[in-house]
Structures are given as structure tokens and as C-alpha cells.
Amino acid sequence: MTDPAVLGQSVTFPFSGKVAKNRVLKSAMSERLATFSPCDPKERGQPTEELIRLYETWATGGIGIIITGNIQIKKDHLEATGNAIIDKDLPSDYLEYYRTLARAAKTCGSLVLGQLSHPGRQVSLTIQSHPESASDIEHPSMAGVLFARPMPLTKEGIRDIVQRFAYAASVLHEARFDGIQLHAAHGYLLHQFLSLRTNKRTDEYGGVLLSNRARLLLEIIAEIKRAVNDPTFMVSVKLNCHDLSYPHDVSEEEPIALAKMLESAGVDLVEVSGGTYETPQSFEHDRNSHSQRSSQAYFIDFANRLRPYLLHTKICVTGGFRSASAMADAIRSGLTDVVGLARPLAAEPFLVAEMLNGTKSRAKEDKLPPGQILRIAAAAAQIAEIGNGYDITDFNSAFNVSRFVARLQKEIPATMSEAFAGGEAMSF
């Protein structure tokens, strides 16, 4: 057993100067607890009492850095129903609601970052029949979810996307969030521009040059810094180290080069992840294909290879951590600066505090059958229970698992399709 005390050490971020009280990060999970109207996009995306209760609960759990579920920048382009939204075209920017959310999440001294995202082509046909992306490559149907063929964004559309990300960041800054995270992983829009699999453009936003495919992401970062105009406002990026959807993705050169570009752009924290919903097996690829120093973390080997190339930007590895000793080992050995948890905090929102005070040494096991989709649905159910103030279902009970599976079977395909469409990061 490794002493977990190292997890309780503070970490200072190089460009904003922000200080996290410890080295554990709650990674983004799709809460789906904001308002949603299927008919009127103007009635979507408002943070609710349930969403605020959820983050107040996580705040009391001792987490150093809390990253919200992905806040969408367009009211009619959603990762799932119930996403929070900040859209410059809505009659309200929900500023007061986001202020309440920030206060709740910062109750016990956590840093709070709002994750900003656009799903691009990865949006259910039932939500958006005219998606937009880097190119016109349609997402294959998955788990009963159908996707429409996207329209390639025009130059004007790209400029609009840049402005929308900056606008959303400025609202969160005014709402007193500590910063933002840009979601450039897991097959969403920014990743669609970065990936050769989904970016077939021949202009300055596409092609074989990474500098072209990274242009949108870098323009967004620059515009956020210009619009917010506060050097203490933190910028983070969630970055894929691979997605396995085409041969080029097994190369480490591009994600390392991209991370170096992000450091040059003043990004405080790179959260290393991997996988897409098009290739679900890729979420655990690094765990299965490398002999790594941590037996738990999925992407720790890549983080270790990235480490020598970043002089300032901090690294967070998310995916697979379950024990305090493995988390502490990863920090102590210098493989990562911060460790990220997602699904374990849906089952046990106070897990970090309990690990730090020594009352728990690892996350609770579950008896769910193998497979990501069922685990996504289970985590979504637990998040809703926390938000509504209910007892959290213990999936380490075979009885609770059978009852949950039986309930899902009655509601398939609607429930499973919704769970898959809103499964951001819950596989971790």
C-alpha cells in the first residue's frame, strides 16, 4: 500500500496561477439535469435545482478540481437531452443560474471549470437532423441511436463557432467559474477537426498538416483569452491520445505535437483521454495494449511519454483509476500531475474525501455485466439520484443489478439509446 497523502498536495497551474487544493479531478460526465423541450429550443439548457444539488454534493466530497458535464454552445446541437447550454442566441444566458451552480460547486474550496463542447456529427437524429462537422462523414448508428449526415462547416460557420465558444467562456467567467475546459476528445466537434478520419477538408482547417486541423481549437483558445481578458481564468483541454478509427491514430506524434501547441497557447491543464463512441473498445485501448506501471489507469503510459515535452502545462490522466494507492503511485512517480475520476464519483460522491482521510482505500466494485453501455446507463441513473436527493443505487448488489437490467429491458430501445447518446466519460 502506498501512502495516499501525496494526493492531498496542492497543485499550482502555470499560466492562470490558480491553485487546486489537491490532485484529484472530477472528470466531466453528462448529467442531463438541465431543462429540455423537444419542441422549443428556447426552453432548453437552464441549470436546475437538481443540477445544483448534484454539484453541491460533489463539492462536499473533497475534490480538488471539478469539471462540469459538457455545456453546449448551441441550443439545437446537443450531446444529449438535458445538457446545460450557453447560447448567444437564447433570450437569456442563464447567468444567475450559472452563478448559483458555481457557488454550489465551490462550497468547500474546489476549483470549478465548465466544460464547453459542441457534438458536431455526434448528435442523435432525434435532436438534430442537420448536424455540422469538419466534413460530411456520417457517424454510424450505435446502440439504436441514428445520426444524420453532417454538413461541412463553412468559413463563416467556423467563425461563428469560435465566437460561440468565447461567448460561453465569458458567461462562465462572469458567473465566477475558475475556468473552462474545451472538449477536444471522444469524437465531438473539436476532435472531428483534429482527426484525419473525420476531417477531409482541403482548406486551411484540414489536410495532412496538424497545424491546419488544430487551427479551430487554437483560434478558440485565443478568442477566449481575448474575450475574457483575465489572465487568472484557467483554460484546460481534454485531448485524445488515440481513437483507433484509422491507422494513423496509433502514432503518438500528433497528440504530443498538439499538446506542445496547447502549452504555447497558454493552456494550464491537458486532460489525457482516448477513444470515441464509434469505437467503444478504444476507451480502454492503452490499458490493453501496453505494459504500464499502473495496473489501473488506461492512458498512463501515454502521459509518461508526453511528460518530457511539456515544461509548464500540467497533465491529468482520466480513466481506470480505482484505488488510492494506484492514484498516489501515478503522482509520486511523476507520471501525471493530477488524476481524474468519473464513474466512481457517481457511485460514491464522497470517495475523494474518504480516500484522503484514510477511511477508504479504493472505489466500490460493481456486479454489472461486461460492456460499456450498461455501465453508462447505471452511472446516469446514479447521477440523477444524487441530483434528486435520493439514495444512490449500489450496483455491487446482484439484486440491484438484476432489477436495474430488468427495468432497462422494458424500456429498450429508448432508455439505452438515451444513455448511449449522453454517455460522455461515464465509461471511466
Give the least confident one: 47-56, 227-236, 417-426: 417-426
Scored b (16 or more CB within 10 A) or e, 5-16 reads: ebbbeebebbbb
Residue-wise pLDDT for 353-375, tens only, equals 999 999 999 999 999 998 777 89
pLDDT at 280 over 60: no
Per-domain boundaries in the chain: 5-396
Residues composing the chain = 428
Q: What percent of the chain has pLDDT over 90?
A: 78
- Alpha carbon separation from 181 to 169, 178, 220, 314 (Å, rounded): 9, 10, 11, 13
pLDDT at 145: 84
Residue-wise pLDDT for 171-208, tens only, equals 999 999 999 999 999 899 999 999 999 999 999 999 99
pLDDT at 24: 98
Confidence of residue 251 (pLDDT cuts 50, 70, 90): low
Confidence of residue 290 (pLDDT cuts 50, 70, 90): very low
- Nearest Cα to 307, choosing from 209, 241, 247, 244? 241
Confidence of residue 409 (pLDDT cuts 50, 70, 90): confident
Question: Cβ distance 160 to 132 under 8 Å?
Answer: no
Beta-carbon contacts of 82 under 8 Å, excluding residues fewer than 6 positions away, are 31, 32, 33, 34, 35, 36, 422
Cα–Cα distance for residue pair 3/428, rounded to 1 Å: 24
Residue-wise pLDDT for 296-341, tens only, equals 567 898 999 999 999 999 999 998 899 999 999 999 999 999 999 9
The three three-digit cell numbers of residue 148, written as one number: 444524420
Beta-carbon contacts of 228 under 8 Å, excluding residues fewer than 6 positions away, are 166, 169, 170, 173
Is domain 5-396 classified as CATH 3.20.20.70? Answer: yes
Bond from prior residue into 413 cis (ω within 30 degrees of 0): yes
Beta-carbon contacts of 303 under 8 Å, excluding residues fewer than 6 positions away, are 272, 315, 317, 335, 336
pTM over 0.85: yes
- Alpha carbon separation from 376 to 14, 56, 67, 69, 148 (Å, rounded): 34, 22, 18, 14, 23
Q: What percent of the chain has pLDDT over 70?
A: 87
Cα–Cα distance for residue pair 270/240, rounded to 1 Å: 10
pLDDT at 408: 84
Cα–Cα distance for residue pair 176/101, rounded to 1 Å: 10
- Nearest Cα to 383, choosing from 54, 104, 47? 54
pLDDT at 407 over 70: yes
